[in-house]
Structure 1
């Protein structure tokens, strides 16, 4: 045999198909996201947080790659579920769901594969089972009615005014001008306006029609031709087509046995009416095309008025006909008028059972019957509507017996869906969260007395950390150097318990101020690729798992007896320093001399010790201290006990050969209820939430305790009025949250 036969033939590299190249490119993008979650960032970290955004931009440019990405994500999810990489699950799942919402068309087999995986997550602990259940329900609806999520999202966010789907959403962004410089505010405002310049109501209607048609019909829908036809139609005709498509989609959703094939036939008939048959010989442009998902309408507000959130929510939810009728002081002027039909005769009302069972028409036609004049007990479900957020946090008890990881993730309990959703986004550091907690407490307090807003709207709170060094230097002491570790404790804690929040939201902390350094001239790239706006929209849409933070109340007493005590709330910390000034009162010369020599003052501390066993132990101690610092945010994600970590700087006198000196030591205690009283002539300076605008001077005594839910307090007062001798919670109060928590939305809640 010839030796040449044994020589290997020279190998030539064959060009890979475009499909393979796209698949490898997407796989590399997904793997880079996973490495980012592990903390392994190749090269510099300047692009941290942009990998997810870049991946979705690739899908927008190439809609055929949606199926490839979904298959890759499902495969990676199955590997993470089987292995030890559980922290991959929720980030990959959110990426998957966002891809499905934007996808032009998904086959039924692929829907089934995603649905089967989501059902597997129900066997895992929180928060995986909660997020998995929510995704499984959405996939089930999307599989039967393709395009449902996209349609409802655009209608509600753009307020398109559908007759069959009237839900509305709005994103409110509040900027504190004292915490964020004017240049940063202007940069954010410019980017939002540039991104929303093309999002007219008519354009959004065309997006909804085209996406619903393509999601149902697939490549049988000529999207380019459909969009051109819709663009040529008058506004009234376009709106009529929009209403018809939305009604068809919602009709399929309401059917008991929703069928994808029947839904495609229904939309196919509407498609044939809109798109006229093509002329003979004309080329068909059928195929999958990318349809933009417009960002929600974002409203920016300079938070100059402490009551601004409540005012804007009221303006958002009141009917347009009342826009010029409400006075400026609406909260004090508005009253709920109830017409009494009780004649005072005990039999002029129907019986309790008849009242709850008969229909409205029966009530109108039925004759009056006589019965005893007694108070009808309102059912729990009806009473819960009058007391907002009653059942949403029923697992949350008083602070000190709570653990963050065991009961503070609000589950998606089935409850009546409200017509409005207000997504409140605050930008800044911990100081803006302290201000938000105060505004939220004020809102809940007014709603407990007269519910107007919370019975109509679902309030969702979001937090984007922004560390603006320009504004930070103007509000802090020049000798104090503050960094992100000190100013953004809440965002750092959220980043530790939710890696997806760390990757997508915490990266904006320093990126947003960089916008102010960009050229002020209009940029086409800024309008086409608005990174900050896109990430904010993604966070508002997908961040639905809240982490609840206890709000604490402080009652402050002053050295001047003519001043009344003041009550305030804080979220992150309370700092108390001893003042040098003295209370004007008589004292002996010896006492003055001793106090001038020794720093600090004698204080009496009474507190209830917090322990893991939830056993309360009251402690009284006398210390000579110069400073107190109460921290409400845990420094470690493994520390899940909800309480205040109080550090007390204790001053101790020591005597040696060189004379008398003083040494300091830090004593740590855990508590939720604490009272501090100055026994000498020195007073405290109290600062709340690191905010120099919330400082109290000449304080001699203060009491700190968990802030109670105003609805609970109101209901408790009613119970005590009816039954003065009852001390424990009875009736509706048993199901209500005692403490007031500020829920900050994240992507996963707290990952254990």
Structure 2
């Protein structure tokens, strides 16, 4: 195919992508999102056309800027950057045009200025050292050993087996395992070496000979060359681009031996495929499973169970040393957990008496005991104790006058990124809200994960083939619907998977099914996790449930999407007789007293009280239509109205709607009702006579506020650190653009 035909074909695909954003594409709704995937796959099959695509995308971006078509900018920019990361070689003049465009985005409101600043900083790094974005992505996603760039990432997919059919869970588990097993550390290192050398040398790089040479090397030799390339790209940040290119040329000549640079066959640029990221699939069967998986990610099982193996050092080694002190004799000692010695000091083998602060501690040091290996989760308490100890006040602190005080340990760096992808409907997100609130409460008491881990949440809606009777497919995916209205690119690429994943998972086993799922589903998840970096914060709401039994303590919970209260189905005999006597007069339902704070434009608090007879109420936290408006509840109370006429009495149901941020509901007659949270029948409370709903506060804010109030003589709330802490607890879910105004 000639260059003009290639350019026309790519331009036609890009214009179809833009028509899809406008909703004018003739394709079926279930096929939305395939255009972006097919465009990137076409470029991967023919990497020499990546420059053509980048040039077309730059022109379309500039045209959208002139025509004030802002809803085109972010999708085109994401498509361009994803192409540029994988491109074998992009001319500097093209990168300069993209860089100038990103700088012009800084004059626009969020999220355009945020994304423009992020991509401008990345492009600045890429122009200084071509191929940096590619090798940083591969190194972090696969945990390759790299001292200049020690960042690590992993994608966790969580699905609830009680909400999704077994066929979907099995298909997703097999697909993610196949994607993870197809990439070895040696193969990823070879990809980094090949891409870095081709990005620096361009057409003069013999990519076929380079790949053959890397395949013939042993894993140790491949790692050696990989480390040299990483040092050449990352370790010489202050050097000029020419010096870096010369160093990479020397590595290229060393790899190929006598073949000089410039004798490559003229076949055009042959790109290096981007390896699939490290994806793990988890069935959410335990309440604390999310926290446990994050802890295991920070401290891998191999490093915790076998710390005595050479070359392995736990991530928490610094914390353990803080606990044991800075003394040399204690740093390398092993303490027994189960002791079998006699406990008599003379039975201990002779050893040199230490001096100084270790003298007394060494008398309690026992050898010969049974050493019990702790699991990674059991050793977290030790790490937390070490990380929470103030600097210079550890257990091994030297007494005054014994020498210079040890330097305080450096704060831990957030070198890890966990990208948690939730695969399901709003019921799974409600469970995530519970786990996130529990994690924040744990971190408020003692910081462990937050200081070391950057936690990112993603949501891919999946609707089962047979949704529950009380909710339809659209009602089960209200969060995804809101994200789709706020971000058109999320609507096109992610929300369309709502019905596609069940179809792909239930396809019969065949080579075509394996081809579709391996190339499409895994690629879409990877694309979403890599490019979706703009969070949308959803306000969590705290609910306090009061029960009919006075001996039963109130229950406290949180919800994300909705709270449904209904009259209880099976009342006792006494309540039934009372209901029969009053029902003839008041109609169906129970009497309720509702106290709420009305939402007004001036943001002033106005408290109102209603007394009515109702059959139930529904509180919605997700806006139905408009994109902005997160943070307040839309409450619908079904009121029973009695009407007197000549034929007798009749009762009608009237919906009272109100907006509030906090509300209290009481049953004056002590008649019970049921409460269900986040559409999940497993989170149902019975025999409820009252509830209180308010925005959920950040646990660290509550803790700091209580400490401030304790020591504040005048009772002032917002003093000290309290006024700088976030007050509300927001659940961030990433999209490609956030909320586009």
Q: Which residue of 1 aligns with 2:124?
A: 140
Q: Distance in 1 between matches of 2:475 and 2:487?
A: 20
Q: Distance in 1 between matches of 2:713 and 2:572?
A: 42
1:40 matches 2:40: no
Q: Cα distance 1:498–1:586, how it changes in 2: closer, same or farther (>3 A)? A: closer
Deviations 1:40-72 (A, max 9, x none): 122433421010010001110111111110111
Q: Which residue of 1 aligns with 2:367?
A: none
1:91 matches 2:67: no
Q: Distance in 2 between matches of 1:166 and 1:223?
A: 27
Out of 323, 326, 332, the position equivalent to 2:375 is 326
- Where 1:206 maps in the other structure, the secondary structure is helix
Q: Distance in 1 between matches of 2:112 and 2:645?
A: 61
Q: Distance in 1 between matches of 2:69 and 2:281?
A: 39
Q: Which residue of 1 aligns with 2:250?
A: 269
Which segments of 5 or more consecutive residues in structure 1 lack a partner in the other structure? Answer: 1-16, 351-360, 367-381, 386-415
Superposed, 1:383-394 pairs within 5 Å as none
Out of 417, 426, 432, the position equivalent to 1:430 is 426
Q: Which residue of 1 aligns with 2:541?
A: 552
1:299 matches 2:280: yes
Q: Distance in 1 between matches of 2:584 and 2:240?
A: 84
Q: Which residue of 2 aligns with 1:677?
A: 666
1:705 matches 2:694: yes
Q: Cα distance 1:201–1:717, how it changes in 2: closer, same or farther (>3 A)? A: same
TM-score, normalised via structure 1 length: 0.84
Superposed, 1:334-345 pairs within 5 Å as 335-337=384-386, 338=389
Task: Give the conservation status (yes or no) of the 8 Å contact 2:253–2:261.
Answer: no
1:62 matches 2:46: yes
Q: Which residue of 2 aligns with 1:113?
A: 97
Q: Cα distance 1:339–1:539, how it changes in 2: closer, same or farther (>3 A)? A: closer
Q: Which residue of 1 aligns with 2:508?
A: 519
- Where 1:64 maps in the other structure, the secondary structure is helix
- Where 1:625 maps in the other structure, the secondary structure is strand
Q: Cα distance 1:349–1:514, how it changes in 2: closer, same or farther (>3 A)? A: farther
Q: Distance in 1 between matches of 2:262 and 2:563?
A: 77
1:504 matches 2:470: no
Q: Distance in 2 between matches of 1:339 and 1:46?
A: 56
**Aligned-pair CA distance for 1:251:** 1.9
Superposed, 1:108-187 pairs within 5 Å as 108-187=92-171
Between the two proteins, the alignment pairs up a number of residues equal to 666
Task: Give the conservation status (yes or no) of the 8 Å contact 2:292–2:377.
Answer: no
Q: Which residue of 2 aligns with 1:469?
A: 465
Out of 579, 583, 601, the position equivalent to 1:595 is 583
Task: Give the conservation status (yes or no) of the 8 Å contact 1:603–1:622.
Answer: yes
Task: Give the conservation status (yes or no) of the 8 Å contact 2:563–2:676.
Answer: yes
Deviations 1:566-588 (A, max 9, x none): 0011000000001244467699x
Task: Give the conservation status (yes or no) of the 8 Å contact 2:482–2:627.
Answer: no
Q: Cα distance 1:430–1:279, how it changes in 2: closer, same or farther (>3 A)? A: closer
TM-score, normalised via structure 2 length: 0.85
- Where 1:611 maps in the other structure, the secondary structure is coil
Task: Give the conservation status (yes or no) of the 8 Å contact 2:539–2:630.
Answer: no
**Aligned-pair CA distance for 1:161:** 1.6
Task: Give the conservation status (yes or no) of the 8 Å contact 2:142–2:278.
Answer: yes
- Where 1:269 maps in the other structure, the secondary structure is helix
C-alpha RMSD over aligned residues: 2.7
- Where 1:708 maps in the other structure, the secondary structure is coil
Deviations 1:192-250 (A, max 9, x none): 23334431111111000000111111111111111111111111111000011011110
1:101 matches 2:101: no
**Aligned-pair CA distance for 1:278:** 3.3
Q: Distance in 2 between matches of 1:632 and 1:281?
A: 63
Q: Distance in 2 between matches of 1:340 and 1:306?
A: 34
Structure number with higher relative contact order (C-alpha < 8 Å, ≥ 6 residues apart): 1
Q: Cα distance 1:497–1:527, how it changes in 2: closer, same or farther (>3 A)? A: closer
**Aligned-pair CA distance for 1:364:** 4.9
- Where 1:704 maps in the other structure, the secondary structure is strand
Task: Give the conservation status (yes or no) of the 8 Å contact 2:696–2:729.
Answer: yes
Q: Distance in 2 between matches of 1:438 and 1:183?
A: 27
